[in-house]
A and B are shown apart, each in its own frame.
Chain A
Amino acid sequence: MKTHAHVPLLLRGAMASTLLGALLSLVLFVHAGPYTLVAFMFLAQPLLLLGMLLFAVQVFKDLRREKLL
């Protein structure tokens, strides 16, 4: 049985959030309109920012663990 390596929860969250945000943004690029722009502003953009934030927290935690900070 193949075992999978552990992927930190923060990183999983960051990747899922970014992927979802990117796909929601795609809707705006494919069809720009008032509703898709509002969805981009209030859903996609926060998800992309959340992804960045979670990734930054993960990097920060790793640096602290390795005593580089």
Chain B
Amino acid sequence: MRLLVSLLATSAAAAAEADVAVPRPHGWIGTTDDWARGLGIAFVVLAAVLLILAWGRLRETGLNARLKELLILPLVVLPAAIVFFGYSHGIENSKSVEACGSCHVMKPYLADLRNAESESLAATHYKNRYIQEHHCYTCHTDYGMFGTVHAKWEGLGHVRRHLTGSYTLPIKIAKPYPNQRCLGCHGESQKFLKSEGHPQEDMPKLLSGENSCIDCHGPAHTPAPAAQTASR
């Protein structure tokens, strides 16, 4: 138990260290993702050990009813658990800034995001922690039931294009950035509603997207131009 907690704490600290200087508090028991990871590893190891033991037994005695019953665990129950925890851990981690920045083409954007001197919209949100975590994902995912599904589907397309090199530099956002993503957080804040820059008569245009938030509050990102085009 102590070993498991130690393993979870180490992985949590490593994950936090990669993103921020001061790790966010996880509590002694770790996060849901730490547990998904730890249990996933434990189930993979258990399945492998049971399969190897079962193989030795099968070679000695052949297949019998008892062995068949035992094989349900490594061939049915544990794989189902591995798939469950794999998705839980994989999807959660695919939201991280590190996951977005793992492709070379995104590195200049990541550098800008983490640059405390940068005045870009993304860097301002990041350094002030207007968004607590999953910084890229939060701003580049639509709200609603299918927002995550759509973002993941697009993410698969990004991996495919990165693997096949079927993209052009400098990269651009695929579609105009929708105001709804900004308004998801800011829309109900008094700072937004009472700002002189957002007069009531302009609200319909902001809500419809006719006036883009980025037009006044941009640029969203300011990647270094040389790094941006030389990153392939």
- By a beta-carbon cutoff of 8 Å, the part of chain A in contact with chain B is 4-8, 11, 14-15, 18-19, 21-23, 25-26, 28-30, 32-38, 40-41, 44-45, 48-49, 51-52, 55, 59, 62
Which residues between 66 and 99 of chain B lie within 8 Å of chain A, taking CB atoms? Answer: 68, 71-72, 74-76, 78-80, 82-83, 85-86, 89-91, 93-94, 98-99
Complex partner residue of A62 from B68, B76, B89, B155, CB under 8 angstroms: B68
Main secondary structure of the interface of B (DSSP, over half): helix
Chain B residues contacting A15 (CB-CB under 8 Å) are 51, 54-55, 74-75
B44 touches A23 (CB 8 A): yes
Chain A residues contacting B52 (CB-CB under 8 Å) are 19
Known: A7-B59, A37-B94. A25 touches B51 (CB 8 A): no
Please indicate which of the listed interface residues B63, B75, B103, B158 has the most CB atoms of chain A within 10 Å of its own CB.
Answer: B75
Write the nearest CB–CB distance from A35 to chain B, whole angstroms.
Answer: 7
Chain A residues contacting B79 (CB-CB under 8 Å) are 18, 21-22, 48-49, 51-52
Known: A15-B51, A18-B51, A33-B93. A28 touches B86 (CB 8 A): yes
Chain A residues contacting B76 (CB-CB under 8 Å) are 52, 55
Please indicate which of the listed interface residues A11, A22, A36, A52 has the most CB atoms of chain B within 10 Å of its own CB.
Answer: A22
Interface string of B149-171 (1 = CB under 8 A from A): 00000011011000000000000
Write the nearest CB–CB distance from A18 to chain B, whole angstroms.
Answer: 5
Task: Tell me whether B61 is interfacial, beta carbon within 8 Å.
Answer: yes
Task: Give the distance in Å from the alpha carbon of A51 to the alpha carbon of B52 in the complex.
Answer: 15
Given contacts A34-B155, A37-B91, 12 further A-B contacts (CB under 8 A): A5-B63, A11-B58, A15-B55, A19-B51, A19-B52, A21-B82, A23-B44, A29-B89, A33-B98, A36-B90, A48-B83, A49-B79
A-B contact count (CB 8 A): 113
Please indicate which of the listed interface residues B55, B83, B91, B103 has the most CB atoms of chain A within 10 Å of its own CB.
Answer: B83
Task: Give the distance in Å from the alpha carbon of A47 to the alpha carbon of B156 in the complex.
Answer: 20
Q: How many residues of B contact A (CB 8 A)?
A: 43
B159 touches A38 (CB 8 A): yes
